[in-house]
Structure 1
Amino acid sequence: YAFTGIYTFESLIKILSRGFCIDDFTFLRDPWNWLDFMVISMAYITEFVDLGNISALRTFRVLRALKTITVIPGLKTIVGALIQSVKKLSDVMILTVFCLSVFALIGLQLFMGNLRQKCVRWP
């Protein structure tokens, strides 16, 4: 509750100082503020409306940490290099998944029916 209150207070200060969405440089002109607005609105929706167990929506709160990438220039360089290296490793990842799938199918065919009732304790 405390962090939701802090984020709400921060957003209200930004909205009161810049405006909400009509002019240039308003709150909703910045994509990071869109993320903040969605995170805060989802926090209040999941708190006050009983939608069942949708804890997956709470994971969007983690995305607020991505905002620090734009603030710290060294971190922006590191994240950019990391994204480029993951793009170059995509072929290796596809080959690895293919090999694991082949070995999984071979294992299924080799051990099919051999382990039946081996772990069951009969009285």
Structure 2
Amino acid sequence: MLNLPLFSSCLLSVSLSFSVFVSLSLSVSLSLSLQERIFLTLSNYIFTAIFVAEMTVKVAALGWLFGDKAYLRSSWNILDGILVMISAIDILVSLVSNSSPKILGMLRVLRLLRTLRPLRVISRAPGLKLVVETLMSSLKPIGNIVVICCAFFIIFGILGVQVRIDNLCNPYKKPQHIIIHL
């Protein structure tokens, strides 16, 4: 069932429609009518239920942890699972909350993290998935180069301060030309 093109297409369309939903819900002003708030809340419940059902089907088909293709063996599935759990926690906290300021602050963070759900589209588009995986694999070599560049900047920064320390400490001293003989 997971390999069926219809299943993947349906989940891709749900993910894309959720992206539209998130962009609409973030772009509306805070002064929403009661009907609009109810619509946004119910839409969030429906999308979360669909994503929980997808996660359940995947776990049932692939297994949770054991096996070569287990759910937790794929980083894309881990991302999906984390986003589904964030959505479920958001719903639970919003149902239980007493409108205390601490709870409202936590809800804002959870709803902000909900905007990461469109990243699920990456795992369903093979070309986009390849591009992202290639970029992620190039981060380690680029990170090594950045560390070397930072080391050079620090070394030459310290040398520059040591050479010009007299002028920095005494602003009334006339600048002298420094000639370095090689």
TM-score, shorter chain, exceeding 0.5: yes
**Cα RMSD over matched residues?**
4.1
Instruction: Summarize the Cα distance change of 1:77–1:88 in structure 2 as closer, same or farther, 3 Å threshold.
Output: same
1:74 equivalenced with 2:110 (yes/no): no
Matches within 5 A, 1:21-32: 24-25=60-61, 31=78, 32=80
Q: 1:37 aligns with which of 85, 89, 107?
A: 85
Do 2:123 and 2:129's aligned partners in 1 also have CA atoms closer than 8 Å? yes
How many angstroms does 1:74 deviate by? 0.5
Larger RCO (CA within 8 A; separation ≥ 6): 2
Q: How many residues align?
A: 111
User: Which amino acid in structure 2 is aligned with residue 75 of structure 1?
Assistant: L
How many angstroms does 1:83 deviate by? 1.3
Computing the radius of gyration over CA atoms, which structure comes out larger, 1 or 2? 2
Instruction: Summarize the Cα distance change of 1:34–1:83 in structure 2 as closer, same or farther, 3 Å threshold.
Output: closer
User: Which amino acid in structure 2 is aligned with residue 38 of structure 1?
Assistant: I
How many angstroms does 1:33 deviate by? 3.5
Do 1:7 and 1:40's aligned partners in 2 also have CA atoms closer than 8 Å? no
Gaps of 5+ in 2: 1-21, 27-39, 65-70, 72-76, 172-182
Gaps of 5+ in 1: 116-123
Per-residue CA distance 1:29-74 (angstroms, 9 max, x = gap): 6531432221452476488442275666555234323211111111
Match of residue 141 from structure 2: 88
Do 1:42 and 1:57's aligned partners in 2 also have CA atoms closer than 8 Å? yes
Do 2:45 and 2:91's aligned partners in 1 also have CA atoms closer than 8 Å? no
User: Which amino acid in structure 1 is aligned with residue 123 of structure 2?
Assistant: T
Match of residue 50 from structure 1: 101
Identity rate of aligned residues, in percent?
A: 19
User: Which amino acid in structure 2 is aligned with residue 36 of structure 1?
Assistant: V
Per-residue CA distance 1:53-103 (angstroms, 9 max, x = gap): 566655523432321111111101101111122222222011112123334
> With structure 2 as the length reference, what TM-score do the two structures score?
0.42
